[in-house]
A and B are shown apart, each in its own frame.
Chain A
């Protein structure tokens, strides 16, 4: 809980936004150098490495939360907008949609629901095992 207590302390000073951007840029750059080291059969893209790297830097207390917090929240708040070009990219796939027809779209829609529901219920199952079989606590405070 020590981590949580840290974040609520109001007197912690946040880093200037340009410094926060600098940390993000540095993490991204280092990640882009690591990504090509993975074999082509086992691709791990730059942002995934960057997420793990930044998480490790925070967990090991090399970077403080208030050095990156504000820019991170700002970026996450904009995700839906940043995804608009990906959506519009489907313009280039209109031909595929025509060729493959409606059944492909329907299969994708149902697959999305399958992934959400199956993963969520599998988790509930494992958490139930945790409480019922191993008698460990599974209550989470918000």
Chain B
């Protein structure tokens, strides 16, 4: 059975087709539901994709993780790779609002350092109250950075990199689906702060969302993705040792 699966589904085209199919279905549902947040294409694509893979694995009688790795991942990795040039592309919206960057650079840097510092305390106490163990807490601390930075730091401070990666992914999906609603209920109107918040909490996907809101939030989210990663690099390990996690 396993060799048959690899022969027929082991080429990248299955993963590419499945990704396109679930995302396009999500777009269609989003359109006919007139923009209901639960039908955000990314969210629908993710949930439906996981469900289909789980179902197929059950049907073929193979392990779900094995089926994901051998049937979906070859195609998924190709699409995933294009996040590299897509991240670089945020230099353009950032450059377009260079006027804002030049005027507010000090506020931007200070806000991200202080904002992350406060967030780390809140996330630490939240995780403590919810009864997570030290490894669980350490996994949550680096999530503001992009996955490629967050995962090694998580490992270095005693966390589980896979959980941190999961946190980064959920951040992005949540922000993309709920950004408008969250901005409204927390009365976030000031464009610089809005952009920095979306970039910090939602990574590049949050930045794509911020660009839809306006050129200033978009540029600020792009700069947040870069600076917050460096800030996480610098302050999360000392924070973890201060809290006795390592």
Chain A interface residues toward B at CB < 8 A: 1, 3-4, 7, 24-25, 27-28, 31, 40-48, 50-55, 58-59, 65, 68-69, 71-73, 75-97, 100, 103-127, 130, 140, 142
Q: Cβ of B193 and Cβ of A3 under 8 Å apart?
A: no
29 A–B contacts, CB within 8 A, in A order: A25-B85, A41-B156, A47-B83, A48-B87, A48-B148, A51-B87, A51-B91, A52-B91, A55-B94, A55-B95, A65-B95, A72-B93, A76-B86, A80-B205, A83-B42, A91-B54, A93-B162, A104-B136, A107-B126, A111-B119, A111-B123, A111-B126, A111-B167, A114-B123, A116-B198, A117-B186, A118-B115, A119-B224, A126-B107
The number of inter-chain residue pairs (CB within 8 angstroms) is: 339
Q: How far is the CA of A121 from the CA of B201 in the complex (A)?
A: 13
Q: Are A43 and B149 in contact (CB under 8 A)?
A: yes
Q: Which of B15, B42, B65 has most A Cβ within 10 Å?
A: B42
Within 10-45 of B, Cβ neighbours of A (below 8 Å) are at: 15, 19-20, 22-23, 41-43, 45
**Secondary structure dominating the interface of A:** helix
Select one of B42, B82, B148 contacting A87, CB under 8 A.
B42
Taking A79-B83, A123-B107 as contacts, is the C-beta distance between A84 and B46 under 8 angstroms? yes
Chain B proximity of A54: nearest CB distance (Å) = 4
Chain B contacts for A46, CB-based, 8 A: 84, 148
A122 touches B127 (CB 8 A): no
CB < 8 Å neighbour of A140 from B149, B192, B208: B192
Classify chain B's interface size.
35 or more
- B5 CB–A CB distance under 8 Å: no
B132 touches A47 (CB 8 A): no
Q: Do A127 and B193 contact each other (CB < 8 Å), given the known contacts A80-B41, A140-B100?
A: yes
Q: Do B215 and A142 touch across chains, with their CB atoms under 8 A apart?
A: yes
Most chain B C-beta atoms within 10 Å of own C-beta, residue among A28, A41, A78, A119: A119
- B-side contacts of A83, CB under 8 Å: 42, 83, 169, 172-173, 176, 205
Answer yes or no: B239 CB below 8 A from chain A CBs.
no
Q: In the bound complex, what is the Cα–Cα distance between A123 and B87 (angstroms)?
A: 23
Besides A48-B149, A76-B208, A93-B162, 5 other A-B contacts (C-beta < 8 A): A47-B88, A79-B204, A88-B76, A96-B163, A116-B186
Q: Assess whether B235 is interfacial by the CB under 8 Å rule.
A: no
